[in-house]
Amino acid sequence: MSTHPAAPHGTGHAAPAHTDQPNWSGYTRTGVILAVVGWALFAIIGFLNLGAAEGAEAKQFAKARFFVAYLSGYTYWLSLPIGALALLMIRYVAKTSWGLLLTRPLEAASRTLPLLVLFFLPIAAAVAFKDHTTHEAPLSPYWWSNPSHAHDDHGADAGHDGHDHAKADDHTINKNREKAEAYGKRMLQKAVEVQKAAERKEREEGIYGFTSVPGFMITSAVCFTVWGVLIFFLNRWGKETSDATDPSKVDAGLEKLKNISSIGLVVYAIVNTAACTMWVMSLEPGWSSTMFPVIFTVNTFLTTFAFCLALFLLIADRPPFKGFMRPKFQLDMATLMLVFTLFWSYTSFSQFMLIWIGNLPEEIPFYLKRSNESGDRSFWWYVSAALIALHFALPFLLLLFRGIKLHPKRLRVVALYLLVICGIDVIWWIAPSAPQSKSPAFLMDVGAVLGVGGLWLLYFVYQLKQRPIFPDNQAFLLPEGHEHGH
């Protein structure tokens, strides 16, 4: 049995848990502001995009664009409950100091899953709703539920031939660039043809395939159920362990949590693969990547950890953390955030490298949509380049400095910065799958991220208030933590 902190007056029991709660009113106000600004931006840009659409097909795509943007916001904030679930399980298996200090924010974040289930209903309704005349789901963001959503904008991008260049001054044409663009367009056109063939094949496999309405509903129900069961038991047993005054019950509770977490991490990896494949990867016809589920999962880790660390650094110098906090703990958290950043970079580069080496027509459209330097999609080329510099290079350099790691305000700024970058990364996954429009429709995605995030933050603060902010009957797990009890 571990050595527990001595209790006051020699009672032989662990010290009672702190009931102090910081003032979360600032977070509440932030949640309200984000919700109002986000949904207003989402609606305004969405209706402008709809008004600018010309023709029945373009208007249908503009309507479906609402749900593509909503899916961006939903996917990003889903990272928090499922990422918190994974980090909680890692905490109980590895018995980490950062895990103990962040237990309450992680538990509160995981308990927001019911809200995300509620937010999922509009997406499920868009996929399930069928027009009785066309037998299609006109609002669905997924091509497999609506054959007319087989995005022909790729063909439009590829259809520009060399006469556009002929209008330019012959003396200013860069021959190498022209040849490269022509080759890229041929490859893109070939990829479009392969995509369309893949779409026809997958639709002909029957309604009970994975990329189908029944497959979508069943997969989603299974994922939410598995996550929900794990979250329920981790929170229930976590509370019982934190409330225990008998040291033997604390040890028994931690052992029980360790056992379920060991199995849960394996199940979690399988369920996450199914979820990101169905909800994100299936947006792209014919595209598959064995690395994307890893990228998706690492992004949830980084998003959740950055959020919880930013919150923790606001209260680390106040009771009840003040008596337990050591510089080493903050250094460890900053280093772990750097590790997650490097792991994201490694997996993202690996995916790009494997697809580039394979050069398969059914796989390359994912990157062609996001790396076209000309035409309507040029915006995403700049986003792709920015992610390399801002999601890897900049945080990597910042988190190398010990002065930043040990400075609470500087580290909090880096954590908040990574929250923003992870959101841009999620939008980059999802938004380019939609047909391009003349209006800045990507602002809809930004609005959805802010809007969903505002409501999520309000519910998170509510959940955070339900329990003491620190389970200090487990302080014996912290290095030198036993000194606090003497």
Question: What confidence category does residue 17 fall into, taking pLDDT thresholds of 50, 70 and 90?
Answer: very low
CA–CA–CA angle 274, 276, 278 (5° rounding): 65
Q: Quick check: 211 pLDDT over 50? A: yes
Other C-beta atoms within 10 Å of 285: how many?
Answer: 25
Q: Is there a cis peptide before residue 8, judged by omega within 30 degrees of 0? A: no
- pLDDT at position 25 is 84
Domain ranges within the chain, ordered by starting residue = 25-485
Among 158-162, 257-261, 409-413, which stretch is predicted with the lowest mean pLDDT? 158-162
Compute CA distances 426 → 31, 89, 136, 234, whole Å: 20, 24, 27, 28
DSSP secondary structure, 212-227, as one string? SHHHHHHHHHHHHHHH
Q: What is the pLDDT of residues 286-305, one digit of tens each?
A: 788 999 999 999 999 999 99
Contact 365, 192 (CB under 8 A): yes
Each residue of 128-148: b (16+ CB within 10 Å) or e?
Answer: eeeeeeeebbbbbbbbbbbee
What integer is the mean pLDDT of 321-348?
92
pLDDT of residue 286: 78
Burial (CB count within 10 angstroms: exposed 0-12, middle 13-18, buried 19+), residue 337 = buried
* Tokens 């997924």 -> residue: 142
Q: Return the pLDDT at 318.
A: 86
Is the pLDDT confidence value at 321 over 70? yes
pLDDT tens for each residue of 51-99: 888 888 888 888 889 999 999 999 999 999 999 999 999 999 999 999 9
CA 427 to chain centroid, in Å, comes to 9
Helices and strands (H, E) in the chain, number of each type: 18, 0
pLDDT, residue 169, reads 43
Confidence of residue 376 (pLDDT cuts 50, 70, 90): low
Residue 154 in contact with residue 188, Cβ under 8 Å? Answer: yes
pLDDT tens digits, residue range 161-201? 334 433 444 444 455 556 556 666 666 666 666 666 665 55
On whether the CB atoms of residues 121 and 452 are closer than 8 A, the answer is no
pLDDT of the residue at 152: 44
pLDDT of residue 61: 85
Residue predicted with more confidence, 355 or 4:
355
Of all residues in the chain, the percent with pLDDT exceeding 90 is 55
Q: Residue 317 burial (CB < 10 Å; 0-12/13-18/19+)?
A: exposed
Are 444 and 49 spatial neighbours (Cβ–Cβ below 8 Å)?
yes
The whole-model pTM stands at: 0.84
pLDDT of 149 higher than 60: no
Q: Which of 189-193, 307-311, 362-366, 466-470 has the lowest mean pLDDT?
A: 189-193
What's the confidence (pLDDT) of residue 317? 86
pLDDT > 50? residue 476: yes
pLDDT at site 60: 84
